[in-house]
Structures are given as structure tokens and as C-alpha cells.
Amino acid sequence: MRHARPCAVAYDGGVTDASPHPHAQSKYQVRFDWGRSGAVRIGTDADIVVWVDVLGGADDGAPTALFAELPQAEFVEGGLTDAAVVAARVLDLQVRLGRRVLIGVVAAGAPDRGDGQADDASDALRFTVEDLLGAGAVIDALASVGLDYCSPEAAAACAAFTGLRGAVAHLATASAGAQELLAAGVAAAEIRRTATLGSSEELRVLRLYPA
């Protein structure tokens, strides 16, 4: 089995009180966080935001709702099926801009409805293993084309994917989110399609890099 090169995490010193906004991961080229709030945290200076919603369980309007908050960034969707396509796009953008591009990889997660009571927090997110693995696949693909200066958060997501690569399809289709879709009548074949590594060569663009 081929083992992809892991994300390289390099540190230029310890975190100090003078470090600006540590949760922005701004020291790193490749960053990782969860949901809309995470996208804003890591994306204020990003050139491209990769939104990862493998099973489509997040709010459908979530990425486009971020356009106004992150006006400088290109937005694409990515995941298990098209990680290499996303990495190629990011590399092309870097060549076109003639400088290092900053990348925010965002796992969508799913709305946490708790026990279904009306007072559940509407903005709470539930951890989704399929989105973690999809984000890790994107980060691993970025590393394979030399874009590997990752934050610790991005490196951990990458390691989750590379360490579980052989079981990704099973984990994604057996996840709580997948089981919820099956119970709602979604075909098993459709769920498996979203977890098939490298099965798509189509770039899913939400918004191109602003001219």
C-alpha cells in the first residue's frame, strides 16, 4: 500500500503573548477548522477556502453565507472523491499569483440537534468522521504537491486520513451521519459514492478567486 508523505509541521518558536490570534493558525500555509465560525477564524487572509461536507449533512447555505465575510477568498468544495483535483487547483492558483497561497480547509460538521428539543443550540456542530477524513484527504493531497506547511490542526487531520486510508470507505459509510441517511431512505450506493477515493476529476467551484 502506498504511504503518502505526511504533512510537515514546522515551528518557528513557541507561542508567546505577542502571537496574533493563535486560533487563526496564521503562521501556517495550510490550516484546518470546523464549520462556519472555524472558516472565519482561519480564513480572514486565506486565498482559498476548501469546504468539506462529504455526506451533505451541513447547512446547504453555509459556504455561500461566508462570501461576504471572506471576500478575498476563492471557495471550492472538496473531499474524499476529489482531493487531488482540489490540490491541483490550489497549486495552479499559487503559480498564477506568483506567491505562496494561504489555504483554509474547513470540515463542515453537521448540525447538533441534541435530543430534538426546541431549545437546542441551533449553531452547535456535531463531529462528523467523514468530514474529518475528507479534510485529511485534501490536506494529504496538498502535501503531495508540495503544499505541506501545516498547522498542528491540519497535520492531525492529515494523519487521521493517512493512518486510516485503507478503512476510509468503511468508516465513512458506517458513520453516524451515513446511518442517519440510510434510515431516511438514501441509497447505500449513493453514500458509497461520496466515500470513493479519487473517483472524481471535476472541480466543484463555489466562487472563483476575486479578480
CA distance 173 to 90: 28
Model confidence pLDDT, tens digit, residues 105-136:
999 999 887 655 434 445 688 999 999 999 99
Domain that holds residue 105: 25-199
Residue 161 confidence (pLDDT) above 70: yes
**What is the predicted pLDDT for the residue at 133?**
98
Residue 211 domain-assigned? no
Q: Which amino acid is at 52?
A: V
For residues 178 and 110, the answer to whether their CB atoms sit within 8 Å is no
pLDDT at 177 over 90: yes
Domain count along the chain: 1
Is 6 part of a structural domain of the chain?
no
Cβ atoms of residues 206 and 39 within 8 Å: no
Q: What pLDDT shows up at residue 62?
A: 78
27-84 confidence digits (pLDDT tens): 999 999 999 999 999 999 999 999 999 998 766 667 899 999 999 999 999 999 999 9
Percent residues over pLDDT 70 in the chain? 83
- Say if 17 falls within a structural domain: no
Q: How many CA atoms lie within 13 A of 164 on its CB side?
A: 22
12 is a domain residue: no
Residue 204 falls within a domain, yes or no? no
pLDDT at 7 exceeding the cut of 90? no
CATH of the domain at 86: 3.40.50
Confidence (pTM):
0.88
Is 15 within a domain? no
d(CA 117, CA 131): 25
Q: Please name which of 72, 26, 68 lies closest in space to residue 49, comparing C-alpha atoms.
A: 72
If one compares 120 and 143, the residue with the highest pLDDT of the two is 143
Residue 167 lies in a domain: yes
Per DSSP, helices labelled H in the chain are 35-43, 62-65, 83-97, 129-144, 152-163, 168-174, 176-183, 188-194
Determine, yes or no, domain membership for 14: no
